[in-house]
Amino acid sequence: MFKIFRRVAGVLLVVASCAAAQDISTLKLRAAAGDASAQYNLADLYMSGRGVARDFAKAAVWLRKAAEQGYAPAQSALGVLYDSGNGVPRNYAQAAVWTRKAAEQGEATAQFNLAVMYTLGSGLPQDFAQAATWFRKAADQGNADAQHNLGEAYRLGRGVPQDFAEAYFWFDLAAAGKLDALKTKTAMKMRDETASHLTAADLSRVQERARKWFADHTANPPAQ
């Protein structure tokens, strides 16, 4: 059974609060003038309903304007809207197009989402090798969902050679990452089950590798 964490259920954008009417007015002027970050932030307000009436259709308009300028966070978010059908007609092919554009610019959430699309064959042909490649790119940036799914790929040999030490490593990182309680429990369970396939020496080596990864990335936190 191939158990993966699927892509984000909604669009989560990290932006400064712009709830004041004056701030929103200024943001709209900047967006209308073609400022891609302002267009992206204005779209977030429309999606969240902060300071404006919630309107996914307007959000999609502003995301597209920013996305067409090559703004990776907007491309990623527009991909999610096409995948969910919020504000635009659901279109998995378009979801894949915009998600890929953001992923190719190094946007970790988009890399994870693109990997899930390859896993499921959603909007593009199913390809486990491509899925593993994109999970790895997001996992290397500290995306815990991608770390879990990459561990599962190594556990089953889906798109990569079966390797229980690699599976343990990525499950271990995921279990310590930014997951909700249920996902954390799942990652820990998979890590512990995978450990049963390793010798004591192999387990010691991979645990040391994980400790080094944590030390390196605590000093230099990866992008999420």
Residues 24 and 97 in one domain: yes
Domain encompassing residue 207: 127-224
Q: What is the pLDDT of residues 170-211, one digit of tens each?
A: 999 999 998 999 999 999 999 999 999 999 999 999 999 999
Q: Over the stretch 47-87, which tens digit does the pLDDT of each residue have?
A: 999 999 999 999 999 999 999 999 999 999 999 999 999 99
pLDDT at 215 over 80: yes
Question: Is the domain of 100 the same as that of 11?
Answer: yes
- Which CATH number covers residue 18? 1.25.40.10
Selected residue with higher pLDDT from 11 and 131 = 131
66 and 35 belong to one structural domain: yes
Q: Are 11 and 110 within one domain?
A: yes
pLDDT at 218: 76
What is the predicted pLDDT for the residue at 36?
97
Residues 49 and 146 in one domain: no
Nearest to 132 by CA among 174, 102, 156, 160: 160
Same domain membership, residue 121 and residue 53:
yes
